[in-house]
Structure 1
Amino acid sequence: MVSIHLHAKESKIDLETFAQTYFEKMVATQAPDATKEDLESYLGLLTDDIGHTHLPWQTDGSRTPDGKDAMRKGMTFYLGAHTEYNAELIDVFVFNESAIAIRYRNHAKGIHPESKQEIEYRQTMMEVLEMEHGKVAVIRKYHE
């Protein structure tokens, strides 16, 4: 019993630090010069069966065995689409060992990879990250 208890304490992660790392790696995937390595570094923070909502576009946040593969496919489609991107972390909230919420502002310009139309947006976002075994198991994105 004692060794199990000690092992559990050793495996706890600092969620405040994790939030900072998550934000930095996520921002790197949106940069004009983002690479597949940046994408894989970000995806390494997620469970394989990640669930993801990004309202109003992605409304089903169900966890599925191919969740990470689906995110990889979607993010690869948009990789490098921005000609400008910047983001500023506003707040980090930690909820015991189960969740993190991050609020940030971002601004992006670019060319949509399918329509070839110019895009530009400026928004404040909140992402709620539900944690499991030191990785993000569910991402819920909200716009202000």
Structure 2
Amino acid sequence: MKATLAIILSFAFVATCSAQESQLNLKDFAQQYFDKMTATQAPTASEKEIEAYLALLTDDVGHSHLPWVTDDSRQPNGKALKRKGMMFYLGAHTNYSAELLDVFVFNSSAIAIRYKNYAKGIHPETKRPIEYSQTMMEVLEIEDDKVAVIRKYHE
């Protein structure tokens, strides 16, 4: 009986250790997310950069970008909608830079990144010049090692 209990406890310990080892390092993930997200904004960005960024998201990702997009509900085609929007703006920038300012980790379920960016280019719809610099905060809800909800805020 004691041997059986010891074996069961050993398996439980190994399973717990394995689960802890496979947990996503959210600080590293935040840096990876920032790098891939900002790569999509570069003047030389292509569909390849967009797909690398989208690989970090769940298929049903929810997204808000106040004040323009206020509904962050998760939709079955959330990633496809994000792809469509990103493809529309692809190549709009002639100049882009970003600096990661802060990373905040909230247990194993959320991270926030604060960054400053600068962009210059031509708006794809209006064909008018655009230029802006802003400080942003993105709060990212994590599920199964992927971003499930994105909430963007301007400072």
Do these two structures clear the TM 0.5 threshold for a shared fold by scoring above it?
Answer: yes
- The aligned residue for residue 69 of structure 2 is 58
CA shift for structure 1 position 49: 0.3
- The aligned residue for residue 71 of structure 1 is 82
Runs of 4+ aligned structure 1 residues displaced above 4 Å come to none
Quote the Cα distance in structure 2 between the aligned partners of 1:7 and 1:55. 39
CA shift for structure 1 position 9: 1.6
1:102 maps to 2:109: no
Which residue, out of 126, 141, 147, partners 1:136?
A: 147
Gaps of 5+ in 1: none
Quote the Cα distance in structure 1 between the aligned partners of 2:90 and 2:46. 7
Alpha-carbon RMSD across the aligned residues, in angstroms, is 1.0
1:19 maps to 2:30: yes
TM-score by length of 2: 0.90
1:39 maps to 2:13: no
Quote the Cα distance in structure 1 between the aligned partners of 2:15 and 2:127. 55
Q: Secondary structure at the match of 1:37?
A: helix
Letter in 1 for 2:94: T
Percent of residue pairs bearing the same amino acid type? 67
What does the per-residue CA deviation read over 1:60-94, in whole Å, with 9 as the maximum and x for residues that have no partner?
00001000000000000001100000000000000
Quote the Cα distance in structure 2 between the aligned partners of 1:102 and 1:110. 24
Bigger Rg over Cα: 2
Gaps of 5+ in 2: 1-10
Which residue, out of 94, 105, 124, partners 2:135?
A: 124
Q: Secondary structure at the match of 1:31?
A: coil
Quote the Cα distance in structure 2 between the aligned partners of 1:35 and 1:18. 22
Which residue, out of 99, 102, 118, partners 1:91?
A: 102
Which residue, out of 31, 39, 42, partners 1:28?
A: 39
Give the aligned length: 144
CA shift for structure 1 position 6: 3.6
CA shift for structure 1 position 137: 0.3
TM-score by length of 1: 0.97
CA shift for structure 1 position 4: 4.2
